[in-house]
Amino acid sequence: MRGRSAGQPAGATRPDVLVLGAGVIGLSTAVCLAEAGHRVRVWAERLPAETTSAVASGVWVPGLTPRDLEWSRVTLAELSALAGREGTGVHPEWGLEVSDLSDEQPVWAAELPEMRPCRPDELPPGMRTGLWARVPMIDLPVYLDFLGTRLAEAGAELRRRAVGDLAEAAAAAPVVVNCTGVAAGRLAGDPRVRPVRGQHVVVRNPGVEHFYIEAVDSTEWTGFFPHGDRVLLAGVSQPGDWSLEPDPEVAEGILRRCARIEPRFAEAEVLGHLVGLRPGREAARLEEERVGSARVVHNYGHGGEGVSLSWGSARAVERLLTSWRGRSW
């Protein structure tokens, strides 16, 4: 990944827009703005491969609110255009989505590009409804690298740099876009942001070709997400837990639950463990405020649906900035 546009010394030009954060929300937003013609710079305390996005499951799901549903539609179109292209990490797959919450299919089922209700004999014990769907899956380490390359090709710059407060960022550009995920709680003074800890067990793929995900009212659930020769086994959602250390008991529970659904995982080779902190919030925040002479656009709090909402929220930021053109930033 190039750190600056060709022929320009680092820092030679003051950017139009400074994006904070290099996870999937920050990179998607920066790419969107750079390709729209803005001079963009990205500051990130953690580089893409070090972010929560890099350890995410990587399955597209529809948004649950009207706004999020529209954002997920925009993202689906973007991902579908990339599907199967070498180097993008996007690969459509069939999978089983089940729930113990209702006997009715979820209202968002109609949003799935290809779908069929599963038969009663296909439902795991305890599950009340389910469906098979073919949706984009995203190998996040590969996809983040693809976005980084696309960002550089658009002439934008990515630097590792921590930010102490928004005033520091506001002094560097007339527009700042805050995509700092769970760190936004401190940076934006937002008490509604909290970490929701997730953990994966990574195993060598024993031949599983479909994904599986549960919707249950519990901090423990079951999911598995194949990406070629490796599978990410899930899952937990632990609100308020800041630990990035893999928990052996959590890992044992994940393996046990996944093997109950797919017995081949019982003997699968364990390749590693991944932990990430989802940016939990009752709803993603996308709004602006003034900090000094700069405009700050907040774009964070997407929870576990970051990749699914990424392009929709990025386009919303782009529309907001476009509406400012012709007026003083």
Query: What is the average per-residue pLDDT within 88-101?
Result: 96
Q: Which residues contact 42 (CB under 8 A, 6 or more apart)?
A: 18, 19, 20, 21, 22, 26, 27, 30, 151, 156, 157, 158, 159
pLDDT at position 329? 47
If you count them, how many residues does the chain have?
A: 329
The answer to whether the CB of 152 falls within 8 A of the CB of 22 is no
- Tally of helices (H runs) and strands (E runs) in the chain: 7, 15
- List, in sequence order, every beta strand (DSSP E) within the chain: 17-20, 40-44, 90-99, 114-117, 129-138, 157-160, 175-178, 194-204, 211-215, 220-227, 230-236, 238-239, 270-280, 285-291, 294-300
Helices 24-35 and 140-153 pack at an angle, to 10 degrees, of 30
3-state secondary structure of 264: helix
The answer to whether the CB of 200 falls within 8 A of the CB of 257 is no
Query: What is the average per-residue pLDDT within 121-134?
Result: 95
Q: Please, how many CA atoms are within 13 Å of residue 39, restricted to the half-sphere of its CB?
A: 12
Query: What is the average per-residue pLDDT within 88-109?
Result: 93
Query: What is the average per-residue pLDDT within 111-134?
Result: 93
Query: What is the average per-residue pLDDT within 171-186?
Result: 97
Cross-strand bridge partners of residue 226: 231
In this model, does residue 10 exceed pLDDT 80?
no
The answer to whether the CB of 308 falls within 8 A of the CB of 279 is no
Mean predicted lDDT score pLDDT of the chain: 94
- How many Cβ atoms are within 10 Å of 153's Cβ, its own excluded? 14
- How many Cβ atoms are within 10 Å of 60's Cβ, its own excluded? 23
Distance CA 57, CA 246 (A): 16
Residue 218: pLDDT band with limits 50, 70, 90: very high
Instruction: State both tokens at 251.
Output: 């890992």
In this model, does residue 125 exceed pLDDT 60?
yes
In this model, does residue 108 exceed pLDDT 90?
no
The answer to whether the CB of 176 falls within 8 A of the CB of 295 is yes
pLDDT at position 73? 96
In this model, does residue 5 exceed pLDDT 60?
no
pLDDT at position 325? 65
In this model, does residue 3 exceed pLDDT 70?
no
pLDDT at position 84? 85
pLDDT at position 107? 84
The answer to whether the CB of 246 falls within 8 A of the CB of 254 is no
pLDDT at position 323? 86
For tokens 């030009």, the residue is 13
Q: What is the pTM of this model?
A: 0.93
76-85 exposure pattern, b = at least 16 Cβ within 10 A, e = fewer: bebbeebeee
pLDDT at position 37? 95
Percent of the chain with pLDDT over 70: 95
Distance CA 31, CA 78 (A): 13
Tens of pLDDT, residue by residue over 237-293, are: 999 999 999 999 999 999 999 999 999 999 999 999 999 999 999 999 999 999 999
Distance CA 177, CA 174 (A): 10
Query: What is the average per-residue pLDDT within 34-43?
Result: 97
pLDDT at position 327? 55
Tens of pLDDT, residue by residue over 40-53, are: 999 999 999 999 99
3-state secondary structure of 247: coil
